[in-house]
Amino acid sequence: MRLSNTITTITGGGSDGWDLFIKARKMISEGHDITELTIGEHDIKTDTRILEAMHAAALGGATGYAMVPGIDDLRNAVATRLTARTGVPTTLDNVLITAGGQAALFAAFRAALDEGDTALYINPYYATYPGTIRSVGGVPKAVTAEADNGFLPTFEALDAAATGAKALLINSPNNPTGAVYGRDTLEAIAAVAIKHDLIVISDEVYDTQVWEGEHISIRSLEGMAERTFVVGSMSKSHAMTGSRVGWLVGPDEAMGHVLNLLTNTNYGVAGFTQRAALFALGLGEAFESEIGAPFQRRRALAQKALEGQNAIRLSQPSGAMYLMLDIRATGLSGDDFADRLLMERHIAVMPGESFGDAAAGHVRIAMTIPDAPFEAAIKEIAAFTASLA
């Protein structure tokens, strides 16, 4: 079968970054006891009340084709939420419901790029970002955010890379680094976007997980609402990862065209999961804080456990559910460190190199197991690192 160049080059001809995760899962299937600190999957399950709402909606008949843009009640709820949080007037005409944040990300790039167009993204990056750009025929171009600058992108780096580009993808709070972009960083990004006429795609799925500073949507900055798509999701804020309910927000004139894409791809999201998402949003900010609280608590546990040692440097995690550990003192790459940690201590972490060369010499820790084993794992990683350094 002769396949398209687009489909066969999604990973860029290399690894997709998940090698160690797959290796760890294989060891688990073989009966090994592995402490998994790899993927951003909550250790709590979706709240029973949300599942009951989903069940009631399914029994009530919400099992047929749902409206492709999403049910109006949910779109209105998302619009109201964003208006309240960002100050940007938002209506259901600005909102489309998608099959999770990843589908929203794909739709945004499909809307922004023609074949061969260049899209910038920040390195380190979530593993699917360059593949998503390639999957719509775009050319991914990484812009390095230096570890020594807290993994924050600078105007100079973005400006130097932006000539000829069409779009720019940002993510705050950030996966994998935990960086939260403050106003100064966002204003620098906005200045580059306006100067080079870039469409900005802002992945804000961790907007409820901010431990220091505040979440600011770049869409709220002057001149940015008309050139920005925002990706959102119920996955992280409400522990609904498997429900696959996300959204894309953008200028209403653009959303009509995106709707045509959704009609020809997923053709809507299951009505009963949308009803469950609507119920979940109605639980309010207190519930969202409850979902995020374990990660803030484990961040503090990790900070305390790593005090007074010199082998690991913890990149200050201001948000999200991850820690980035600088293990360059060991002389190992993130890949080699993570592999040895898995084989020798049965702890699985993600190599920094899975998220781009800007994270080389680091590993990413997902704070997604209960407190006691998490704290024990951090101490074990510290001891292992000290033995190598």
pLDDT score for 340: 96
Give domain status of residue 340, yes or no.
yes
Give domain status of residue 6, yes or no.
no
pLDDT digits (tens), the chain, 389 positions: 999 989 999 988 666 668 889 999 999 999 999 999 998 999 999 999 999 999 999 999 999 999 999 999 999 999 999 999 999 999 999 999 999 999 999 999 999 999 999 999 999 999 999 999 999 999 999 999 999 999 999 999 999 999 999 999 999 999 999 999 999 999 999 999 999 999 999 999 999 999 999 999 999 999 999 999 999 999 999 999 999 999 999 999 999 999 999 999 999 999 999 999 999 999 999 999 999 999 999 999 999 999 988 889 998 889 999 999 999 999 999 999 999 999 999 999 999 999 999 999 999 999 999 999 999 999 999 999 999 87
Q: Which of 282, 312, 327 is the last residue of a domain?
A: 282
- How many Cβ atoms from other residues are within 10 Å of residue 310's Cβ? 9
**Residue-number span of the structural domain to which 59 is assigned:** 48-282
Angle at CA 322, nearest 5°, toward 317 and 323? 55
Contact 14, 127 (CB under 8 A): no
Q: Which of 282, 316, 336 is the last residue of a domain?
A: 282
Are both 270 and 291 inside the same structural domain?
no
Give domain status of residue 136, yes or no.
yes
Are both 258 and 314 inside the same structural domain?
no
pLDDT score for 311: 87
pLDDT score for 315: 86
CATH number at residue 119: 3.40.640.10
Total domains in the fold of the chain: 2
Give domain status of residue 1, yes or no.
no
Place of tokens 């290399």: 14
Residue 346: closest CA among 63, 19, 11, 33: 33
Are both 59 and 27 inside the same structural domain?
no
Are both 31 and 108 inside the same structural domain?
no
Are both 180 and 101 inside the same structural domain?
yes
Distance of CA 367 to CAs 14, 243, 271, 339, 358, Å?
A: 28, 21, 32, 19, 22
Are both 300 and 223 inside the same structural domain?
no
pLDDT score for 14: 64
pLDDT score for 15: 64
pLDDT score for 16: 60
Are both 330 and 257 inside the same structural domain?
no
pLDDT score for 389: 76
CATH number at residue 376: 3.90.1150.10
Q: How far apart are CA 149 and CA 341, in angstroms?
A: 27
Are both 73 and 187 inside the same structural domain?
yes
How would you class 10 by CB atoms within 10 Å of its CB: exposed for 0-12, middle for 13-18, buried for 19 or more? Answer: middle
Are both 103 and 236 inside the same structural domain?
yes
Give domain status of residue 290, yes or no.
yes
Helix boundaries (H) for the chain:
5-8, 19-29, 48-59, 72-86, 100-112, 129-135, 155-162, 183-196, 235-238, 252-263, 271-281, 284-305, 334-345, 371-388
Q: State both tokens at 45.
A: 């399950």
pLDDT score for 11: 86
Are both 240 and 159 inside the same structural domain?
yes
Give domain status of residue 312, yes or no.
yes
Q: How far apart are CA 310 and CA 36, in angstroms?
A: 24
Are both 210 and 356 inside the same structural domain?
no
Q: Which of 247, 262, 282 is the last residue of a domain?
A: 282
Are both 62 and 209 inside the same structural domain?
yes
Give domain status of residue 7, yes or no.
no
